[in-house]
Amino acid sequence: MKRIAVLASGRGTNLEAILEAVERGDIAGEVALVISDQETAQALQRAERRGVKALYLNPKDYGGREQYDQAIVDQLKEARIDLVALAGFMRLLTPFFVNAFPQQIMNIHPSLLPAFPGLDGVEQALAYGVKVTGCTVHFVDQGLDTGPVILQEAVPVIQQDTVETLHQRIHASEHRLYPTAIDLFCNDKLKVEGRRCMIIE
């Protein structure tokens, strides 16, 4: 059984979807740890409500980004984590962190990468005027939303959309996609060849 950690800064609806999928038996793993950089993150409460260890680490308590990431990595190693799932974790990981978990860190992004990376992927798509956007689960590498794509799902943009309505539909799509990608990882079905992530049949 793979041991999963989820890192989240905010509402944690993706965390909730992952926890629900684990409870349903749709993910062949367990969420062993949730970490947040925000004391009041709803994600921490969601974890506690389901009896999952939830940890707040305050970046201000550490000398810099590297020291902070070292503290997170220490916690992850101590908990014998196999997969780190970023779910709205609003910090860029240092190379030290990425190297500590090679091809074991995933992220979910609210656009069809490589379109609209970085912050406000939904706003960017709406402002650009694309007719189709969506969400992407990818492995994390040293860049900003640049790692190998694991799964993507398209979401049509409708004429009446605001950032809120579009983000709502993308969220619904994320809540399906992320647990699916995590389950593939837990079943050792993902293999990265160069930039391509293959799903082993």
Which of 2, 12, 151, 186 binds ligand GRF (CB under 6 A)? It is 12
- Is position 10 an interface residue for ligand GRF (rule: CB under 6 A)? yes
Distance, in Å, from the CA atom of 51 to the CA atom of 53, rounded to the nearest integer, reads 7
Contact between 165 and 174 under an 8 Å Cβ cutoff? The reply is no
Distance, in Å, from the CA atom of 16 to the CA atom of 110, rounded to the nearest integer, reads 17
- Is position 37 an interface residue for ligand GRF (rule: CB under 6 A)? no
With contacts defined by CB under 6 A, how many residues of the chain interact with ligand GRF?
Answer: 14
The one-letter amino acid code at 40 reads T
Distance, in Å, from the CA atom of 17 to the CA atom of 156, rounded to the nearest integer, reads 22
**Nearest residue (CB) to ligand GRF, 66 versus 120:** 120
| 109 classed as catalytic | yes
Site string for ligand GRF, 74-103 (x = CB under 6 A): -------------xx---------------
Minimum Å distance from CB 193 to ligand GRF?
25
CB-based closest residue to ligand GRF = 88
Contact between 57 and 69 under an 8 Å Cβ cutoff? The reply is no
Distance, in Å, from the CA atom of 72 to the CA atom of 37, rounded to the nearest integer, reads 10
Binders in 145-184 for ligand GRF, by CB under 6 A: 171, 174
Q: Say which residue the tokens 């398209």 belong to.
A: 154
Length of the chain: 201
| DSSP code, position 94 | P
Tell me the window of 6-14, 30-38, 142-150, 185-193 that interacts with ligand GRF (CB under 6 A).
Answer: 6-14
- For the chain, how are helix, strand and coil distributed in percent, rounded to 5? 35, 25, 40
- Is position 110 an interface residue for ligand GRF (rule: CB under 6 A)? yes
- Is position 14 an interface residue for ligand GRF (rule: CB under 6 A)? yes
Q: Which residues are catalytic?
A: 109
Interface with ligand GRF (CB under 6 A): 8, 10-14, 87-88, 108-110, 135, 171, 174
